[in-house]
């Protein structure tokens, strides 16, 4: 299991940030051909079989990855720092969405809003519990409530990735409320 976790982290690096780490390229929509991906992972010290790759995708708690219909291609569902066009359609968000962060980032966020930083878009959660888990990865967690409905009515676009994560270009500070 530890090997699957290690391989999954490398897969995330390849499909979201550095496809060249496995000597592959992603197409415009972020898809990678499975056969060259597995060969590239092998060369990089991550000997993953097709069965192991299926297991990584199937058991990933955050549902980070998707296969195409015939499982010949794979991509990350969101979180890219390399430019990809996931082909997501605009979607009306619920009235509130949530963002988890670390307390040390709070002053900057409340002053400047949420920005994508190294990613293509800001990631938002559908519930505060998920947002808290995300925030815990970076330190003492803080959960922010995002007035997504108001943003949408004021012209902001929202998208929802295959794994349920909500995406938008940015969240101005005036739409954020700290939750206790």
Domains and CATH numbers, the chain: 2-76 (1.10.10.970), 97-179 (3.20.170.30)
Residue with structure tokens 């939750």? Answer: 179
Q: What's the rounded mean pLDDT across residues 68-75?
A: 96
Which residues lie across from 99 on neighbouring strands?
144
What stretch of H or E contains 43? helix 34-43
Give the DSSP letter of residue 155. Answer: T
- b/e per residue, 146-159, with b = 16+ CB within 10 A? bbbbebbeeebebb
For residues 46 and 30, give the distance between their C-alpha atoms in angstroms, rounded to a whole number: 21
Q: Structure pTM?
A: 0.73
Q: Give the sheet arrangement for strand 73-76, strand by strand.
A: 32-33, 73-76, 65-67
In the predicted model, is pLDDT for residue 137 greater than 90?
A: no
CB 126 within 8 A of CB 97: yes
For residue 84, the model assigns a pLDDT of 85
For residue 139, the model assigns a pLDDT of 86
Q: What's the rounded mean pLDDT across residues 39-47?
A: 96
């Amino acid at each position: 299991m530890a090997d699957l976790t290690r391989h999954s982290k490398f897969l995330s690096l390849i499909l979201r940030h550095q496809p060249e780490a496995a000597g592959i390229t992603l197409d415009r929509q972020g898809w990678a051909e499975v056969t060259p991906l597995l060969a590239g992972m092998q060369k990089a010290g991550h000997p993953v079989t097709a069965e192991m790759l299926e297991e990584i995708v199937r058991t990933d708690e955050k549902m980070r990855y998707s296969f195409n219909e015939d499982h010949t291609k794979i991509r990350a569902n969101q979180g890219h720092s390399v430019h990809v066009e996931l082909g997501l359609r605009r979607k009306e968000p619920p009235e509130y969405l949530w963002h988890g962060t670390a307390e040390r980032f709070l002053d900057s966020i409340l002053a400047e809003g949420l920005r994508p930083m190294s990613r293509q878009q800001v990631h938002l959660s559908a519930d505060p519990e998920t947002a808290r888990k995300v925030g815990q990865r970076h330190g003492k967690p803080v959960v922010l409530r995002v007035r997504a409905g108001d943003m949408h009515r004021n012209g902001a676009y929202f998208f929802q990735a295959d794994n349920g994560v909500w995406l938008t270009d940015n969240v101005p500070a005036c739409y954020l409320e700290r939750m206790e």
